[in-house]
Structure 1
């Protein structure tokens, strides 16, 4: 964790300042659910304005059911734009090893569509012409994720998650020309810090804030690939998110406790 956080933060800063990337990863899940009948609803925003919402529920002990959706739409009148929408659904499991440690994993399927337009290259003083890219992409994905959370007290927790995503392109064009890339496998680590709001034990605190840092890179990527469009599609991406989670079961527990007191 000590070495991973600075690396992800540096990667996020560099990639957030870089050009458009057609594939933008969704953040890892790492739900903080510890027992059956618990639920977590999370809304997050990325620094580029992309919005994500997810819901996770445990119908029986050690089983997770999750759905998530992410979207971003830039002004298409701008010469540089990105717009995209994707979703995924997954099943998983969790195990509370002790009051302080929670581990789990998920696997799932998703689909998405994105478009990006930008120019790159060219020379100063009007010499040379920039290369224009207008990507149109449709894809499906399969992914697997493992995560661990450490909670030293009732308020704060820290954790890490690692996701591997197989991205399969069903449509992939640049300025209407099909590209020779069927898919790619992405390595997607994430670290996060969370703060639980409320009074009493963790199970009675219904609101949680999270800040997360992550990245997505392509396994086997060759930065010397002479094909500009393919190289751009495969390049790494860093991200930072800020989110809030609501735990409905905590709210229900509070109402039931208040009713019992009356």
Structure 2
């Protein structure tokens, strides 16, 4: 049973993260299923663009702590979104945490409702936003991002737009996406592919340069004593030992 539901309307394929029992956490299975769905979209000449969205009240809660994907698999998924020869548009109407923010950053356009919330919660469980930095750092304001990377604070969609994480926010995210999707439907498939290559060149340079180091950092941190304490505290709904 796939964890990705799919619909299509006028050449736009919508892929919905559909694991509401885990708040669409990035498990090994969900990452694999999403990668397979994106591969299908990339090969299908009838797909002009892809919308990445979610069921339930959470776009993604980040890595599934009980069944996390291998860092290489997450790097591969993020790069696949960046390299897909069709635009990928994130549609968010709920909460986004940790690794889920990497998905947003990998997308070409990201829109969220005004009720969405965001947080880089990695530091609160003893790890760092390592792998997701590959698409995030080239596309956001690093000075503004530092606060949320270092504190794990929650922030709203207006702040996410200021950071460069979101393209737009609106009370009705579908109204906001209507002119964007109409514009993509009026665009030449060849032109979309080549224009996306221009836009993603700097991001892919970061993958080429830093992916191996950041994957190793992620793997090292996730097996550290502080990470074990942080994850246990999170699952037990208590403060970690270092909280003062």
Shorter-chain-normalised TM-score: which range? under 0.3
TM-score, reference length from structure 2? 0.26
Which of the pair is proportionally richer in strand? Answer: 1
Task: Please report the TM-score for the alignment, with normalisation by the length of structure 1.
Answer: 0.25
